[in-house]
Structure 1
Amino acid sequence: METQQPKIVNFVYKAPVVLAMLFTGMYGLILFIDVTNDSTTLINAAFAVMLGLSAICFSIAVAQKDKRISDRLLFAGERLLHGAILVIVTSLIKYLLFKVNNYVIDIASANEFVKCIFWSVNIFACVVFLNGLFFAHTGIRILNDLLILRMTRHRDWDDMF
């Protein structure tokens, strides 16, 4: 039996998900401004987190008896998995740019055409990365909402003593 959620729950437990998305998106843009920046380690860490959360969603969905909740969890897992795939594609593109810059041509001394190509590929990678973040944000938001509902289903959900 679900209890009515206090309004503070919507702010305290849901606002951090939105703020995390905004800050991650802004930090992602900063990562992609510098073509010579090797950010593949951080991008790969984001991939691992998204993949782990996706696996958790799929596992909970299998164990869930309520078909509506199970379907929402599957949807969240799919969004996280799709986001993870886009993020790993971004990592491959960014790694390629970094290695080409270090071993084939130096961007600083390259002609304008080569710089334009590098910037175009970098902007494309940034767009793919941000799409991956948006998909993952959808999955995290849905997972968070479902867990909040589960948390508040009993009357003593906020009893401290």
Structure 2
Amino acid sequence: MAWFRRFYGENPMHLLALLGCFALVGAVVLELYPNPSAPLILLWFVAAVIAHDLVLYPLYALADRSLVLTRWVRRRVSARAVSVAATNHVRLPVMGSALVGLIWLPTISGHAAFVAYFASDLPPTVDFVERWLLITAALFLLSAVVYAVRLGRAAVRERAS
């Protein structure tokens, strides 16, 4: 295996995974080729990649970096180290809310109200924005409860030691 790693530069499983990805892309291309809307699908895909890589990724990387820097500054100012980091307790609900919002954006924005009615038998008057906000609030509430429990356990551990 050492010769393969020297020749290829990585584990053989990496090559296998890469070939599997290329096979999947090839199957999708062959499936879409006769479709008359294939150029529009390709344009949408390229725009999504560009929007993610050039716009969204720097924005949420900057937001995440600000969370990490806030924790670092707090540690530098205080003589006592932070016992439980809050970074992931903010990061996970934000990511969950953004993911739900992105997946259900047409329904939340009201552009797919009749599709939602057809699929779920809910009338088009149902306000999906309120439901998304309730899901977001529930995610943050659950995260806050978990953080409070972790803070309580850390305080008990510090008193015991």
TM-score, length basis structure 2 = 0.33
Q: TM-score, normalised by structure 1?
A: 0.33
Which is bigger in relative contact order (C-alpha 8 A, separation at least 6)?
1
Larger radius of gyration: 2
